[in-house]
């Protein structure tokens, strides 16, 4: 019976320490800046990808017009 009591006490202390560390992790804001910067970089990358697709189509049309104009001038 005494051994069971000691094991129970050890388990309670371990569980209590685990709960304290979990509360510490959830209350901590140390990684918050990193997440915000990652979201900002993702937003900029998404915007750049969308604008480059549109820009690429426009540049392609310009070169097609130049090519057809040079071809008809020859």
Tens-digit pLDDT profile for residues 15-42? 899 888 888 877 776 667 778 889 999 9
Question: In this predicted structure, what is the pLDDT of residue 39?
Answer: 92
1, pLDDT greater than 50:
no
Residue 5 structure tokens? 């009591």
Q: How far apart are CA 27 and CA 46, in angstroms?
A: 31
Domain extents in the chain = 1-30, 31-74
Once rounded to an integer, what is the mean pLDDT over residues 61-67?
92
Q: Is the pTM of the predicted complex or chain greater than 0.75?
A: no
């Amino acid at each position: 019976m005494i051994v069971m009591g000691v094991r129970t006490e050890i388990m309670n202390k371990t569980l209590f320490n685990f709960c304290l560390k979990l509360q510490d992790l959830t209350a901590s804001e140390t990684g918050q800046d990193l997440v915000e910067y990652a979201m900002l970089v993702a937003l900029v990358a998404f915007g750049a990808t969308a604008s480059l697709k549109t820009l690429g189509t426009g540049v392609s049309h310009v070169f097609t017009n130049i090519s057809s104009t040079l071809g008809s001038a020859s």
